[in-house]
Amino acid sequence: MRQSTYLKMGLNMLVHSKLRSWLTIIGIVIGIGSVVGILSLGDAMQEQVQSRLAEMDLTKITISPGYTKASSNMPGPSGMRGSSTDVELTDDDIEALQGLDGIQYIAGQISGSESVIYAAQNATLSITGVDPQVWKYMTTLKTQSGRLLEPADKYVAVIGSGVASGVYDQEIGVNQVITVNAKAVRVVGILEEEGGRGDRSIYMPIDGAVNLLDDAEEGVYDSITVKAKSEDLVDELMENIVDKLMVSRHIIQEDDRDFSVTASKSMAESVTEMTSSMTLFLGAIAAVSLLVGAVGIANTMFTSVLEKTKEIGTMKAIGAKNRDILMIFLFNSAMVGLVGGILGDILGAFVSTLFPMLGMTMMRGRGSGSSGIYLAPDLMAFGLLLAVLIGVISGVVPAYRASKLKPVDALRYE
């Protein structure tokens, strides 16, 4: 027989067993729809993460007061250790680290919340004091108007886009003045919108911020930021920073450590691994429904062989070979998978459109260029091929048993 004949007879079997076949197809539709929808969601999440990581400075290392083993990125067993929150980072720590190889820039910064007045309106906003000598070389923030801080600045500020246009009734522009703790501060720059807390933050030189923030002291920092010369040096530099600070702060035991060292690079790797693991986990759950669908196809094919036993005997009596019977049933099971795959892709696309409605509008699909989940063509093709493959595999045993029936036994079957 020709392959077109196999296809025609397999399609005929599918059409003339409507209810049973469609019940079987529903199982494949649910399985493929779940897998395609979840993988699409995982793709969108990973692309969003990669997009955010591309904007991050992966050479940045942050030193903070207090220490828990769980928050450390350094190698070693996880678990909570002693922590301390009353320790301080000072100029002595910066001086101790300045001689380390691999450091491009190092600076301390302070932060706090203060009442900020503009146009007779009052709002409590986050203020960060940074070193204007190096800040513009260490930050990834960009201005939409005005400029970043310069070394000669003191009572000036760079504000987030949310502060400029979303806090007060009147929009704040460059060179306009805000009041912090009764001190006039001139706005010299407005940052581009980022979509996070940074949009409602104010950055100013640390010398000025020390005089405006409560509890701030000169030479005492809430954190110290280090910029490595390259991303490849980050891991080694983190170890050297820990060793140097342990010595300079006269800490002998790891349990007595009172500072934490974290790197943007390590955080980025952790987020990427977590996203991949979550996608695989959800995909594995969805794959269970595919297994159920495969069992359904096999059951349908076994039933079909029993129902068509006499027809198989007749075909063999007029010259059909074992291979012909095998291929007819395989084509039939493949078409069950194909129809299930097509409808499953449609279901997956529909499920993907629901994700933005469930609060996932921040995700973007591959090549979509707009908010929402985008179902990639290669993912749809994967779902289709997977459905056909499952159909063929599920039909192998029933088709083989049908092909091995003896004509005499098949014709006698009741």
Q: Which of 55-64, 124-133, 306-315 holds the top average pLDDT? A: 124-133
Q: What is the pLDDT of residue 42?
A: 77
- Calculate what percentage of the chain has a pLDDT beyond 90: 29
Q: Which residues pair with 112 in a beta bridge?
A: 127
What DSSP assignment string belongs to 203-232? EEEHHHHHHHSTT--TTEESEEEEEESSGG
pLDDT in tens, 331-346: 888 888 888 889 888 8
pLDDT in tens, 386-395: 888 888 888 8
Q: What is the pLDDT of residue 320?
A: 78
Q: What is the pLDDT of residue 337?
A: 83
pLDDT in tens, 200-217: 899 999 999 999 998 888
Tokens at 347, concatenated = 């279901």
Farthest-apart Cα atoms in the chain, separation:
104
Tokens at 313, concatenated = 């005997």
Does the pLDDT at position 368 exceed 60?
no
Does the pLDDT at position 110 exceed 70?
yes
What DSSP assignment string belongs to 108-173? EEEEEEEEEEETTEEEEEEEEEE-TTTHHHH----EEEE----TT-SSEEEE-HHHHHTSSSSPP-
Q: Which residue has the higher pLDDT, 403 or 110?
A: 110
Is the CA virtual torsion 152, 59, 235, 264 positive or negative?
positive
Does the pLDDT at position 240 exceed 70?
yes
Distances (CA, A) of 293 to 21, 228, 266, 300: 11, 53, 41, 11
Cα of 113 vs its chain's centroid, Å:
31
Q: Which residue has the higher pLDDT, 73 or 164?
A: 164
Q: For residue 225, what pLDDT band results from cuts at 50, 70 and 90?
A: very high
Tokens at 225, concatenated = 């930021």
Distance CA 360, CA 370 (A): 13
Q: Are 171 and 138 in contact (CB under 8 A)?
A: no
Distance CA 402, CA 404 (A): 5
Average of per-residue pLDDT across 28-37: 81
Q: For residue 356, what pLDDT band results from cuts at 50, 70 and 90?
A: low
Tokens at 185, concatenated = 């501060």
Judging by DSSP bridges, how do beta strands 183-191 and 156-159 pair with one another? parallel
HSE value, Cβ hemisphere, 13 Å, CA-based, for 226? 32
pTM of the model: 0.63
Does the pLDDT at position 70 exceed 70?
no
